[in-house]
Every structure is written in structure tokens, then in C-alpha cells.
Structure 1
Amino acid sequence: MPEVIMNGPEGRLEGRYVHSKKENAPIALLLHPHPQHGGTMNNKVVYSLFQNFVNRGFSTLRFNFRGVGRSQGVFDRGEGELSDAASALDWLQTYNPNAPYCWIGGFSFGAWIGMQLLMRRPEITGFISIAPPANMFDFSFLAPCPSSGLMVHGDSDDVVPPDSVKKLVDKLSTQKGITIDHVVVKNADHYFGKHLGDVEKAVTDYLNKSLPETEQLPEASK
């Protein structure tokens, strides 16, 4: 899988990128969990999201936030990480100038950053948020949320209480013009250790429902 180095706000950003063999393919950007708690672009949930989009023919990028792996800089409480994500999206668009649309996905801290980027970049048409940390960070900026998307959460999560995610989903679901799908994975904790397959199924089912037929995965790939 090709390693890429991008220019970020605080120096280089390390990423992994697969360029689609399809002409004018859509693009997807995936964001990892909290840098100060071991989060990297190689997180299993993030890698699963990455592969899901790659298998659909998207030009797909995941990367390490500043201070993680070979990415330069130091943790910046989310502000700098949002700038990193914006730079990564700029890079992705540079190599895919004719992409018809863009999706963003994130896990935990990465979901929070992804939703902020969604508000700032109108070209993002859909999102996947896995275990969004609704109890730790303010999501009130989603007013209104500009696009429909999927939120996945474990009912045994002791890091982000399920009720906090449900409140966020309920709040967003009152907005007109969008639909928030919410999947609760039974017996799953915050890290989905033994339930990664359930997350993969939820994401696959949602994307198969939401994307054009040319970007759907065959039944056997679920």
C-alpha cells in the first residue's frame, strides 16, 4: 500500500493512499482516534473503513495526525488536527480534481474532527462516525448538520456512554433534509475488539444503501 508524505501546517504528514483504477473516482478520507491515547492511522477500525472504500473503487487516504508516527508537530487539542485533516483533503483533491463527491470517516476523536471538517467543506457529501465522543467534545457546531450519515456505537462503551451518542443522534435527526442512521452494536465496548465484523457490516450495509450501484460491494463481500 503506497506510503505518501504530504505537506501539513506543521511539516510533513505521513499517510497511506490507494488511487482508484476508475477514471474520475470519488474520494474518501479516514481519521484516526486520539493521538494521546495511542490512536494512529493503523487502528483496526480505521483500516477497516479504509478498505471498505478502497474496495468500492474510491481513491482513499488515511494519515497520521501531527506528532503521530512520522508526522511532524505536536498534539494541538483538536485545532491543529482539524488543520491537518483539511490539508490532507486538499492533497487528496489535488490528485483527484474531477472526483464527483467525497466521503469522510472517523473513529472516536477522528469522528469529532471529521464532523468539524464536514461543516467547513461543502464538497463532503456523506460521513461515517464510529463511536463519536459526544460526552467529551462539543458537537453543537452541527447546526445544521449539512449532510446525512451513519453513526455506530457499542452499547457496552464505558468511554463514551451510549446515552450521549443517542442524544446527539436524536438532536441531529430533528433537522430537516438529512437522515442520521444509528447502529448500536450489542456487547461492544469503545474499541470494538471482538465486534469489528459488526462494524464492517453496519458500514457496508449503509454505504450499499447510500451510494450509486457502481460503488456498491457485492453481497459476497459483506
Structure 2
Amino acid sequence: MPEVMFAGPEGRLEGRYHHAKRPNAPVALILHPHPLHGGTMNNRVVHCLYQRFQAMGFSTLRFNFRGVGKSQGRYDGGIGEISDAAAGLDFLQAVNPAASSLWVGGYSFGAFVGMQLLMRRPEMGGFVSISPPASHYDFGFLAPCPCNGLMFHGADDELVPEASVRKLVDKLNLQKGIKLDYRVQPGEGHVFTPEGTVQIGIAVDDHVMGILNRRKMALAAD
């Protein structure tokens, strides 16, 4: 889990990077919660996503947005943070030019930034959004949603009511070719317990491996 520093729009960004052994391994970018509310790349859920993608054979990067940890710059209301995420993806693609697919995973604010990144980078092949803040931000930019993915939410989320996320999922699922995998974890709030975090890992593994295996079978059939 080597520390890396890579160029961002406002200076260097601090990250942790795992390089997969397979030359054409898929890559995953992991984004943390809100910088002004204690969010860092060492968040429990972020670390869980990082470990799960790593275990599935991905080259994986988690990093601190500008102004967090050793990352340079200052919080920019979400706009600059989208540029930070794009810089993280640029780093991943530069180190993995033959990557078989690109994924983004985010938690809370990181989920919002990750979905914004999807719209800016059409080469993205999948996403994982944990507790997307559908009641705080307008997700109307997902028109159309560029690919399928997993949304995971706590049934008792006190900051982002589950109904707001379900409404977003239902709206996106009306789009042609989109069928989101939406899972709700009973008894969990916005800040997941250790047990809830384990359930996130299980869901991510099930969703991502299912997609990768189906794609592998489709390629074999061709």
C-alpha cells in the first residue's frame, strides 16, 4: 500500500495506491466523504472499498481531496474536488494504460463527486455509490446515466433519508438500458458501524464480480 503523490489542479495530492499484478487489470478510484466534516481517505468505508477492489484484482487508488492531509490546496465547494478526482483517474490511466475497465467508488460526498466524474469521462465502466447524498445535491446531471452500478444505503440514515435515494434510483431506472443495483442495509445510519461496513464489502464483491464475470463470459462467447 505505497504512498503516492500525484499532480492535481491546485498542487500535489496525497494517495495510497495498489498496483495489480495482471498487466490489463481493471482500475478503481475511491473517493472519500466531505472534507469539511472529517472526511479523509482513511475513512472506514473508503478503506473497505479500497481493500475490496484490491482483493478483486484491481489496481486501486484512494486519495485525499485538496486541503486534506498532505494534499495541497483548499476546499472548493465540490467543483475543484471533481477536478481532483479527474486527476486521480489520469494517474491511474497513466500507470495502467491497458486497463480492461475503469470504476469509481465513493462514499457520501465522494459518491456525488464520483457520479459527476462518470459524466465527464465516458470511458468509465461502472460505479459504486455508498450513501449518495440525494437529499443534499441535485443529481439531475445524470441525464442520461452513462452506465450501471451499485448504490448502497443505510435504512436509518439520519442525514440522507433512504426515500430520497430510492426516488433517485427509480428515476434513473426509467432510463433506457439502466438497471441500478440498489441495496438497503437495515439498522444502519449515515455513519456505518463495523458490521455495516462488512456488509458493504460483501455487496461490492457480489456486484462487481458478477458484472466482471458476465463480461468475461460474453467475450468468450464472441
Q: Higher mean Cα deviation, 35-44 or 204-213? A: 204-213
After superposition, give the CA deviation of every residue in 1:49-96 in whole Å (9 maximum; x if it has no partner): 111111111111000000000000110000000000001100110001
In structure 2, what is the Cα distance between the partners aligned to 1:213 and 1:178?
Answer: 16
Per-residue deviation, 1:213 = 7.3
Counterpart residue number, 2:196: 195
Per-residue deviation, 1:208 = 2.1
For structure 1, the residue ranges without an aligned partner over 5 or more in a row are 216-222
Letter in 2 for 1:76: D
Counterpart residue number, 1:39: 39
In structure 1, what is the Cα distance between the partners aligned to 2:182 and 2:100?
Answer: 26
After superposition, give the CA deviation of every residue in 1:92-114 in whole Å (9 maximum; x if it has no partner): 10001111210100000000000
Counterpart residue number, 1:164: 164
Q: Is the 8 A contact 2:25 2:100 kept in 1?
A: yes
Per-residue deviation, 1:210 = 1.1
Letter in 1 for 2:183: V
Letter in 2 for 1:62: R
Counterpart residue number, 1:150: 150
What pairs up with 1:135-146 in 2 under 5 angstroms? 135-146=135-146
Counterpart residue number, 2:119: 119
Per-residue deviation, 1:212 = 2.6
In structure 2, what is the Cα distance between the partners aligned to 1:158 and 1:82?
Answer: 26
TM-score w.r.t. the length of structure 2 is 0.94
* 1:102 equivalent in alignment to 2:102: yes
In structure 1, what is the Cα distance between the partners aligned to 2:28 and 2:130?
Answer: 15
1:143–1:126 CA distance, 2 compared to 1 (3 A): same
Which structure 1 residue ranges, 4+ long, deviate > 4 Å from structure 2?
A: none
- How many percent of aligned residue pairs carry the same amino acid? 60
For structure 2, the residue ranges without an aligned partner over 5 or more in a row are 217-222
In structure 1, what is the Cα distance between the partners aligned to 2:210 and 2:96?
Answer: 24
Letter in 2 for 1:196: T
In structure 2, what is the Cα distance between the partners aligned to 1:22 and 1:110?
Answer: 27
In structure 2, what is the Cα distance between the partners aligned to 1:54 and 1:29?
Answer: 11
In structure 2, what is the Cα distance between the partners aligned to 1:208 and 1:5?
Answer: 30
Q: Secondary structure at the match of 1:190?
A: coil
Counterpart residue number, 1:206: 207
In structure 1, what is the Cα distance between the partners aligned to 2:40 and 2:25?
Answer: 26
Q: Is the 8 A contact 2:147 2:178 kept in 1?
A: yes
In structure 2, what is the Cα distance between the partners aligned to 1:200 and 1:27?
Answer: 17
In structure 1, what is the Cα distance between the partners aligned to 2:85 and 2:187?
Answer: 31
Q: Is the 8 A contact 2:56 2:205 kept in 1?
A: no
In structure 2, what is the Cα distance between the partners aligned to 1:214 and 1:100?
Answer: 11
In structure 2, what is the Cα distance between the partners aligned to 1:199 and 1:24?
Answer: 26
What pairs up with 1:26-105 in 2 under 5 angstroms? 26-105=26-105
Letter in 2 for 1:195: G
In structure 2, what is the Cα distance between the partners aligned to 1:134 and 1:143?
Answer: 15
In structure 2, what is the Cα distance between the partners aligned to 1:59 and 1:93?
Answer: 10
Letter in 2 for 1:140: G
* 1:18 equivalent in alignment to 2:21: no
After superposition, give the CA deviation of every residue in 1:112-170 in whole Å (9 maximum; x if it has no partner): 00000001101110000000000001100000000000000001100101110000000
